[in-house]
């Protein structure tokens, strides 16, 4: 806001060069997570939602339940696979192929080989 002096009182006028500091841009990590949810759920991310961090966060909260029901929900994470492969190299063994399709099996294999 700009302040201008008028003889007896101060008049406030809206500043046309206002920066919307309260509207933070979305982060790359946040957008990637939203895209992952979008693919799993089949719901497109609206353009308006992609313009504001808070709006995108709310969209993620509403749609993230789709990740639990997606076909990829039971696959092991990339970190879990990398750790299992490291363990397999140290033990000079192979990780069974079925472990790459089920996170529970992968976890059990890791636990039994530590």
Task: Give the pair of three-digit tokens for residue 25.
Answer: 């841009």
pLDDT bucket at 2, cuts 50 / 70 / 90: low
* Least confident stretch, 3-7, 31-35, 77-81, 107-111: 3-7
- Cβ proximity of 30 and 53 under 8 Å: yes
pLDDT in tens, 19-60: 555 677 888 999 998 998 888 778 888 988 888 888 899 999
What is the distance between the alpha carbons of residues 12 and 25, in angstroms, rounded to a whole number? Answer: 29
What is the distance between the alpha carbons of residues 94 and 87, in angstroms, rounded to a whole number? Answer: 9
pLDDT at 15: 46
- Of the chain, the percentage scoring pLDDT greater than 90 comes to 19
* H or E element in which residue 61 lies: helix 53-63
């Amino acid at each position: 806001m700009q302040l201008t002096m008028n003889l007896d009182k101060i008049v406030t006028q809206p500043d046309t060069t206002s920066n919307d500091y309260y509207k933070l841009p979305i982060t790359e990590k946040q957008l990637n997570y939203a895209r992952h949810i979008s693919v799993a759920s089949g719901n497109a991310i609206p353009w308006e939602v992609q313009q504001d961090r808070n709006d995108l966060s709310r969209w993620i909260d509403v749609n993230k339940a789709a990740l639990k029901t997606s076909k990829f929900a039971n696959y092991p994470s990339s970190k879990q696979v990398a750790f299992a492969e490291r363990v397999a190299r140290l033990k000079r063994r192979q990780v069974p192929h079925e472990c790459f399709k089920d996170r529970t099996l992968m976890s059990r294999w890791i636990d039994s080989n530590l």
